[in-house]
């Protein structure tokens, strides 16, 4: 399969414009132009696609309708009275229960285990089935002579439109160099220069080359390293295919464990824990506003739902990240990520007429908005399945960097498109924004604490560090930095916490009463756990 005939005229215009574009640098947008783009075209500004929450700690706040439905839903558990006797006899007992087996969960488990805590990981799918595994472009850290955590801090704040929680950004950038060293010590293999120094590249919105990469498999390399380290430790207990469906609390509202559902046996089990770390990741599989997504199959926002019902406050839940370059063709890979690294090393974004329309390394929200604008103007290509997109001209990489550059730097992309007969060394990719990241989540402090005793949150399930837009490479950094912090803090809290580990579901009973008082039905249940792609009868 290559590109069909109805797309060839546009392809010819792209090829014809390359000579001109070789010496053409598209200017960066002014602050005013960026603001106009965002307000005019970014999905976060489509008021009709949002709902106002009517119950819970964030009552009165707005969030996408798909998430609001789950946050205001009833628990999946049966009536609490029927479970009380079972809850008092837990199946598992540990110091720290980590819900989620991605990068943040594994980093937390390793650090807590190092501190001598009894650790259990309960993960929805297999260990490592997470957005961490699917991240491609790189991980940021200011560890070069021309860089510093202070400069990194300014970049992060600017990328987040200065809405970020400053303490969280300070923690992120300060811990970053140590986090890279820790990953290397565990066995992560980053790209190196001939002299052995770290190879680094630019990302959108960054003022320094601080992106550490492992070709375009960076997330997979980090997840491999963390997963293998967890599996090598027989002191860390692991329950796979066992998502949490409810948190447990004592009579003071503090979290004391969780109810898990074994997906293979369809059977509940109860875990008592002194501290619970929610590391469940994002919610891209809710397909906000009908967007395709780059997220893994289990990314359905479970952690937000569980924490919210237990009384945790959420932050920045009105902003999602739509990665500007998701695959728009072929249909088989619709929405799959085309890493920002493609633009970092020289590919240009051009419309159907072969014209550049945005500086390729603006922040992700700005680039995504510009692509949506071009499509609304009709300067896009429409595929046989009625998907719209613009061109990401990858052959420009070879023109500027020499033959072999694409295969050397982007092996995952070469394989992803090559399976469908598209040679990205010679042909551009067709791309359109894809739902990529949950900018907000459970509100945390720099030590990963929430407003609920006994509950910590780390990684994409948390909110605040990225403000209203995340920069490339800071998600992998986020899961490592705050996963590590959560593990250390949880181990310390577990040593101090004794005597208040009563297991109960009073918060669920209160939740159900609140729903009833607000006139909200119980037909919708949450957490969703897995998306439903079955065809509904018309």
CATH code (residue 328): 3.90.700.10
Domain boundary among 413, 435, 457: 435
Q: Within a domain: residue 491?
A: yes
- We report the CATH number of the domain holding residue 241 as 3.50.50.60
Please identify, among 375, 406, 435, the residue that sits at the C-terminal boundary of a domain: 435
Instruction: Please give the residue range of the domain that contains residue 27.
Output: 5-41+321-435
Same domain, 303 and 165: yes
Q: Do 496 and 407 belong to one domain? A: no
Q: Catalytic residue at 343?
A: yes
Q: What is the predicted pLDDT for the residue at 145?
A: 93
Per the domain annotation, does 83 fall within a domain? yes
Of 228, 290, 300, 281, nearest to 67 by C-alpha is: 300
What letter would DSSP give residue 30?
Answer: P
- Which uninterrupted H or E stretch holds 533? none
Q: What is the pTM of this model?
A: 0.95
Question: Same domain, yes or no, for 148 and 171?
Answer: yes
Distance CA 412, CA 332 (A): 16
- Is 68 among the domain residues? no
Provide the pLDDT for residue 80: 67
Q: What is the pLDDT of residue 536?
A: 59
The active-site residue, picked from 323, 436, 466, 512, is 323
Rg (CA), the chain: 23
- Tell me if residue 323 is catalytic: yes
The residues near 44 (Cβ < 8 Å, ≥ 6 apart) are: 38, 318, 319, 320, 365, 468
Q: Are residues 420 and 500 in the same domain?
A: no
Say how far apart CA 59 and CA 103 lie, in whole Å: 31
Do 223 and 152 have their domain in common? Answer: yes
Shared domain for 78 and 180, answered yes or no, is: yes
CA of 123: how far to CAs of 96, 244, 320, 393, in Å? 14, 8, 24, 39
- Cβ atoms of 409 and 341 within 8 Å: the answer is yes
85 domain-assigned: yes
Asked if residue 383 is part of any domain, the answer here is yes
Instruction: State whether 342 and 469 are in the same domain.
Output: no
Q: Which residues of 347-381 are buried (b: 16+ CB within 10 A; e: fewer)?
A: bbbbbbebbbbbbbbbbbbbbbbbbbbbbeeebbb
Last-in-domain residue among 435, 455, 490: 435
pLDDT for residue 534: 84
Co-location of 254 and 149 in the same domain = yes
Alpha helices, H only, 17-91: 18-21, 31-41, 65-71, 84-87
Distance CA 341, CA 359 (A): 14
Query: Which residue from 269, 282, 268, 265 is spatially nearest to 466, judged by alpha carbons?
Result: 282
Looking at residue 538, its pLDDT comes to 47
47 lies in some domain: no
In DSSP terms, 140 is beta-bridged to 211
The token pair at 297 is 């199959």
Domain co-membership, 91 together with 178 = yes
Identify the DSSP state of 525. E
Catalytic residue of the set 21, 309, 343, 507: 343
Distance CA 344, CA 410 (A): 11
pLDDT tens digits in sequence order for the chain, 538 residues long? 589 998 999 999 999 999 999 999 899 999 999 999 999 999 999 999 999 999 999 999 999 999 999 999 999 998 766 677 778 889 999 999 999 999 999 999 999 999 999 999 999 999 999 999 999 889 999 999 999 999 999 999 999 999 999 999 999 999 999 999 999 999 999 999 999 999 998 888 899 999 999 998 999 999 999 999 999 999 999 999 999 999 999 999 999 999 999 999 999 999 999 999 999 999 999 999 999 999 999 999 999 999 999 999 999 999 999 999 999 999 999 999 999 999 999 999 999 999 999 999 999 999 999 999 999 999 999 999 999 999 999 999 999 999 999 999 999 999 999 999 999 999 999 999 999 999 999 999 999 999 999 999 999 999 999 999 999 999 999 999 999 999 999 999 999 998 889 999 999 999 999 999 999 988 899 999 999 898 655 4
Domain count, the chain: 2
Q: Kindly state the helix (H) or strand (E) to which residue 505 belongs, with its residue range.
A: none
- Tell me, yes or no, whether 348 and 386 share the same domain: yes
* CA-CA-CA-CA torsion sign (132, 187, 466, 453): positive
């Amino acid at each position: 399969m290559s590109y069909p005939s109805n797309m060839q005229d546009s392809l010819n215009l792209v090829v014809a414009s390359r000579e001109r574009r070789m010496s053409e640098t598209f200017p960066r947008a002014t602050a005013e132009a960026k603001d106009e783009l965002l307000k005019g075209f970014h999905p976060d500004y489509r008021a009709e696609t949002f709902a106002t929450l009517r119950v819970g700690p964030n009552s009165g706040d707005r969030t996408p309708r798909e998430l609001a439905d789950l946050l205001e839903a009833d628990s999946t558990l049966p009536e609490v009275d029927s479970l009380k006797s079972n809850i008092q006899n837990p199946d598992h007992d540990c110091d720290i229960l980590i819900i989620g087996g991605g990068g943040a969960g594994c980093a937390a488990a390793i650090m807590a285990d190092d501190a001598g805590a009894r650790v259990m990981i309960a993960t929805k799918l297999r260990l490592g089935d997470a957005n961490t595994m699917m991240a491609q472009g790189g991980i940021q850290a200011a560890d070069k002579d021309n860089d510093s955590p202070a400069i990194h801090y300014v970049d992060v704040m600017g990328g987040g439109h200065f809405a970020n929680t400053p303490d969280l950004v300070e923690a992120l950038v300060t811990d970053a160099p140590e986090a890279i060293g820790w990953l290397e010590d565990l066995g992560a293999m980053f790209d190196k220069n001939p002299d052995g120094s770290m190879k680094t590249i630019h990302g959108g919105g960054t003022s320094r080359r601080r992106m550490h990469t492992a070709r375009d498999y960076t997330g997979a390399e980090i997840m491999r390293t963390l997963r293998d380290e967890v599996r090598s430790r027989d002191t860390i207990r692991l329950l796979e295919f066992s998502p949490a469906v409810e948190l447990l609390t004592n009579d003071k509202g503090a979290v004391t464990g969780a109810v898990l559902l074994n997906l293979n046996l369809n059977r509940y089990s109860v875990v008592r824990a002194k501290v619970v770390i929610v590391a469940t990741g994002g919610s891209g599989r809710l397909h906000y506003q009908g967007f395709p997504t780059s997220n893994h199959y289990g990314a359905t926002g479970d952690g937000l739902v569980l924490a919210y019902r237990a009384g945790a406050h959420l932050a920045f839940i009105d902003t999602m990240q739509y990665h500007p370059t998701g695959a728009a063709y072929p249909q088989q890979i619709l929405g799959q990520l085309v890493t920002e690294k493609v633009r970092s090393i020289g590919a240009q974004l051009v419309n159907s007429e072969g014209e550049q329309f945005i500086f390729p390394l603006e922040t992700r929200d700005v680039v995504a908005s510009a692509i949506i604008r071009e499509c609304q103007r009709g300067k896009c290509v429409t595929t046989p399945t009625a998907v719209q997109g613009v061109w990401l001209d990858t052959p420009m990489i070879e023109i500027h960097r020499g033959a072999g550059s694409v295969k050397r730097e982007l092996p995952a992309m070469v394989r992803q498109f090559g399976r469908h007969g598209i040679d990205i060394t010679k042909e551009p990719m067709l791309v359109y924004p894809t739902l990529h990241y949950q900018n907000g989540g459970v509100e945390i402090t720099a030590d990963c604490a929430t407003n609920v005793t006994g509950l910590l949150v780390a990684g994409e399930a948390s909110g605040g560090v990225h403000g209203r837009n995340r920069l490339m490479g800071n998600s992998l950094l986020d899961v490592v930095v705050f996963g590590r912090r959560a593990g250390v803090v949880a181990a310390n809290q577990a040593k101090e916490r004794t005597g208040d580990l009563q297991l109960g579901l009073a918060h669920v009973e209160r939740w159900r009463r609140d729903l009833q008082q607000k006139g909200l039905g119980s037909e919708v249940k949450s957490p969703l756990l897995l998306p439903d792609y079955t065809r509904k009868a018309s």
